[in-house]
Structure 1
Amino acid sequence: MGGKKKVDMTSMYRSLAQLGHQRIWLRIIKSGDLLFMVTFENRRLARFERGLNTWCFVKNAALVDDYPLGSVPDGEGLTELHEKDEQLFHLTLCDENVDRLISYLATLDD
């Protein structure tokens, strides 16, 4: 058997979507450079482990909530994820610091 496989953002996003999550957001917590994938009600589904350079499910990630049309999470540091945004998915893996990721997200808002 080989070593453990690193899970990139695309794979985690696809896994969560296959579980039935309809919309998924990236939450960045600048203090601590933390990245999470969350539901419309800010429930954490996955977290990025920088030391291991991989995404991990969090407890109860398989519990899928009914998504009320038009609902979005409250708070700052949120970006809705779309699998087609390869640049965003790549930046979560290659950058040790979230500043570059945050700068890229600012360009998406324009």
Structure 2
Amino acid sequence: MEDERIGHNVVRLIGRVSGEVVARELPSGDHLATFRLVVPRQDPAPGRPRVDTIDVACWSGRTRRVAGRLEEGVVVAVEGALRRRFFVAGAGRASRYEVEAQRLRRVPG
């Protein structure tokens, strides 16, 4: 059993879907759906709204199905964990942080 005093990795976000959801099959045969989530940032400077744009990855069948029904501008709640993904790009090896969705739901309104 892990000791939560050492640390834990839990992410909860509510934001708007930006762009379209991209579903693909990886060379390994795994299926993945990804999208970007725009989340308002709490900024102390009045009158200057800021946002964070966060990549969300949906690996489970359930989160892929929900993601597949999302459209741009829809507000969603995401619960999951922060992950660092490594890949090969044109300039060599690279990495990116994304949220791995464990639960995904539309937020009314």
TM-score (norm 1): 0.27
TM-score (norm 2): 0.27
Q: Which has the higher strand share?
A: 2
